[in-house]
Amino acid sequence: MNEKKLVSGLVSIAIPAYKKKWLKEAIVSALSQDYPNIEVIIVDDHSPQNLREVVVPFLIDKRVSYYYNEINLGGKSVTNNWNKCLEYVNGEFFVLLCDDDVLMPNFVSELLKLAHKYPKCNIFHGERVLYHENTYSFESMESWPEYESFVDFQKEKKKVKRKHTITEFLYRSRCIKEKKYIVFPVGYFSDDASILEIVATGGIASSQTPLVKIRISDDQISSEEKYPIEKTKAAIMYNEWYMNNPMLEVSQQEIKNSVDWWAYGFFQSANIINKILILYLVPKFVWPLKQKIILFIKMCISN
Question: In the 8-state DSSP scheme, what is residue 6?
Answer: P
* 97-145 per-position pLDDT tens digit: 999 999 999 999 999 999 999 999 999 999 998 887 765 555 666 789 9
- Tell me the chain's radius of gyration from C-alpha atoms: 20
Q: Is the dihedral of CA 254, 257, 263, 265 positive or negative?
A: negative
Residue type, 300: C
Question: Considering only CA atoms, which of 226, 230, 241, 223 is closest in space to residue 187?
Answer: 230
pLDDT at 135: 59
Closest Cα partner for 43 from 85, 98, 91, 106?
Answer: 85
* Most confident segment among 58-67, 158-167, 225-234, 293-302: 58-67
| Local structure of 220: helix, strand or coil | coil
User: How many angstroms separate the CA atoms of 16 and 290, rounded?
Assistant: 44
CATH topology of domain 7-216: Spore Coat Polysaccharide Biosynthesis Protein SpsA; Chain A (3.90.550)
Q: What are the sequence ranges of the domains in the chain? A: 7-216, 228-302
Length of the chain: 303
Per-residue pLDDT tens over the stretch 257-285: 999 999 999 999 899 999 999 999 999 99
Mean pLDDT, residues 223-246: 88
Let me know if 187 is exposed, middle or buried by CB neighbors in 10 A (0-12, 13-18, 19+): buried
Report how far residue 173's alpha carbon sits from residue 112's, in angstroms, rounded to the nearest whole number. 13
Please, are residues 11 and 92 in contact by the beta-carbon 8 Å criterion? yes
In the predicted structure, residue 194 carries a pLDDT above the cut 90: yes
